[in-house]
Amino acid sequence: MTPIQPWLNGPLENRGGKLYFDGVSAEELAEAFDTPLYVTSESRIRDNYRNLHKALTRNYEKIRVYYAAKANSNLSVLKTLETEGAYLDAVSPGEVFMALTTGFTPERILFTGTSVRNDELKFLADSDITVNADSLSQLDRLLKIKVPEVLSVRVNPEIGAGHHDHCITAGENTKFGLWESDAVNAYKKAKDSGVERFGIHMHVGSGVLDVDPFVLALDKLLSVAKRVHDEAGVSFEFVDMGGGIGVPYKPEDKPVDLVAFSEKVLSLFKNRVEEYDLGEPFFCVEPGRYLVCDASILLTRVNTVKVTPFKRFVGVDAGFNTLVRPTMYGSHHHVLVASKLDSPEEETYDVAGPVCESGDLLARDRRLPNVDEGDLLAVLNAGAYGYAMSSQYNARPRAAEVMVKDGKCAVIRKRETLDDLLSGQRVAE
């Protein structure tokens, strides 16, 4: 068995040129469950969680890792992280509902929504979920519904970062969070209204491979915490640095060095907390992508090979309805031909889906072994924002999902059928 890429030591294995994922043959999975098929390794999610938790607790005892459910809200994924002891970051009542259904208790859930409706705030208040206020309007409306015991405020730390403009969530152009003076006023108002326990939060963006933006933004967040502490007399039970830790998608991308990351971030945190007399708050992170991205692959079957005067297209059965990231963000996902791992890369292909739009390309100008109709492709790093962002566009039922572990597999989401396309609809009289 040789690793497929030295930069990715996950559940992927090359057994005699054929792809195995956590001990299960990709070809057998595709035959048993059809394609497109998301395959998720339970062990990899656990390893990712444990590695991150361990790296952080080396430098500070009071750590909480909130899983950002938006990355992948499959119940089995949530349950895996629930049993690891993770906390949960939810951005919608639906995610709260899924988390409660999976077994997360309300104290383990933090709600960080934006443009939140009153009925949603009522649902959160009735469910005893801690809310991370994203605007003064949201805070006012929440306080009218019910004064919570605990409240957090999402602060814009004025420094954003991310793999794409759409994913930068702090700084000048973002809709998220409160700027410093509004944040101070929010805490004053909450305290005057009777809120007793507090947290403070930021999220710089998503897909950040460099530690510097986190350090700079955290420094700013802690200076806001000091101001709130001094001016509003608020003590913090937790400081949440948000999510955003990036993962390597391209062979040349370097993974984040978690030990160095933890040392840099937490030494700043500990210094500032002491300097500003902020007590001993929990230090929280909110990763989505980091925990689940490399735990899943997407299997898709080649149905067409088409050569034009300019391009060679490999037509597959997964399109941007199945995995939207390449089309939406121009993201790179590494592609393997599942039964030709030992074959030389001979041709340059665009891998195209079945959606009727020219932008429906999973990969562009990719060197691959000679691809034949019937070949199975594996699209790597599909666990974060993969199934979660999929749709029924072009009236295509969504893919199935299986979970694998040590050579065994289980269906964790049925493939949709044509009947599912009709669900909830009726023809107007």
Ligand X SMILES: Cc1ncc(COP(=O)(O)O)c(C=O)c1O
Comparing CB distances to ligand X, the nearer of 244 and 353 is 244
CA atoms within 13 A on the CB side of 412: 24
Q: How far is the CB of 207 from ligand X (least distance, A)?
A: 6
Catalytic residue among 167, 284, 293, 356: 356
List contacts with ligand X (CB under 6 A): 68, 70-71, 89, 112, 169, 203, 206-207, 242-245, 286-290, 384
Comparing CB distances to ligand X, the nearer of 21 and 290 is 290
Q: How far is the CB of 70 from ligand X (least distance, A)?
A: 6
Structure tokens at 121: 């705030």
Q: Which residue reads 């259904």 in tokens?
A: 101
Q: How far is the CB of 401 from ligand X (least distance, A)?
A: 18
Strands 376-379 and 296-307: antiparallel
Q: How far is the CB of 115 from ligand X (least distance, A)?
A: 13
Is residue 394 a contact partner of residue 354, using CB atoms and an 8 Å limit? yes
Q: Which amino acid is at 167?
A: C
Q: How far is the CB of 212 from ligand X (least distance, A)?
A: 16
Nearest to 413 by CA among 74, 180, 22, 108: 74
The C-alpha atoms of residue 15 and residue 68 are separated, in whole angstroms, by 34
Comparing CB distances to ligand X, the nearer of 39 and 71 is 71
Say whether 356 is catalytic.
yes
Structure tokens at 374: 């019937």
Comparing CB distances to ligand X, the nearer of 205 and 354 is 205
In angstroms, the Cα distances linking 389 to 4, 73, 322, 384 are 27, 10, 8, 9
Comparing CB distances to ligand X, the nearer of 53 and 405 is 53
Comparing CB distances to ligand X, the nearer of 243 and 354 is 243
For 196, residues 6+ apart whose C-beta sits below 8 A from its C-beta are 149, 150
Indicate the burial class of 288 (C-beta count within 10 angstroms; 0-12, 13-18, 19 or more): buried
The C-alpha atoms of residue 51 and residue 259 are separated, in whole angstroms, by 9
Beta-sheet strand order (sheet of 18-21): 12-15, 18-21, 24-25
The C-alpha atoms of residue 246 and residue 234 are separated, in whole angstroms, by 33
For 418, residues 6+ apart whose C-beta sits below 8 A from its C-beta are 397
Q: How far is the CB of 292 from ligand X (least distance, A)?
A: 8
* Active-site residue set: 356
